[in-house]
Amino acid sequence: MSTTKSPAQQLAEHVEASRRETERLQAIASAIDAADEAARAAAELAHYRRTQNPLASEYRERRDALKNKLDELAQASEFDVDELFRVFLELRVEDAKCYSLSIHAARLDYLDPLPPNHVGAARQHNCGVTQLYQAWTWSTYLDSVIKERAEAAGRKHLEALQHQAFEEIKQAGDEARAAAASEQ
């Protein structure tokens, strides 16, 4: 018996070996693709969850700090319009960023939807930040600051006038009591 293989048998063995190698390589490629897909999905979910809470809090805190600074500048005894405008502009920019983050973070509703509420209505994740000052214009804001400063000055002046009147009335009463007492 001859142990040599015919060319057809050799070709069939070579084809079978190639098929097994192809299956092995396809399994490796599939595992790599699955690992890539799982890692991307996990990274995407982690990113959008981070935008919902810690990042939204950072954006909101930054904007709120600017609003507090703007309020302080608007009420300061030394009225610096240039600095007020600079902070106003910075606040509007940060407010717009808050809006952008709220839109971006809404993707979490697609990636990780919440279960329906007790009546079956869909629920959405709460981003925790959105735009608050989009309607503000510099002229409207400045007008309101000027009005508030004038009203505060008016209130302070009214208090001073009322205090002055009280002191004058009290002094007149004290003098009248002293005069009446000295006549007795």
All structural domains of the chain with their residue ranges:
15-136, 137-184
The pLDDT value recorded for residue 126 is 87
The pLDDT value recorded for residue 3 is 75
The pLDDT value recorded for residue 24 is 97
**DSSP classification of residue 116:** P
The pLDDT value recorded for residue 63 is 97
What is the identity of the amino acid at 132? Answer: L
The pLDDT value recorded for residue 101 is 94
The pLDDT value recorded for residue 2 is 60
What token pair was written down for 101? 């983050």
pLDDT tens digits along 55-65: 999 999 999 99
Residue numbers of the chain with a pLDDT score lower than 50: none
The pLDDT value recorded for residue 154 is 95
The pLDDT value recorded for residue 165 is 96
The pLDDT value recorded for residue 110 is 87
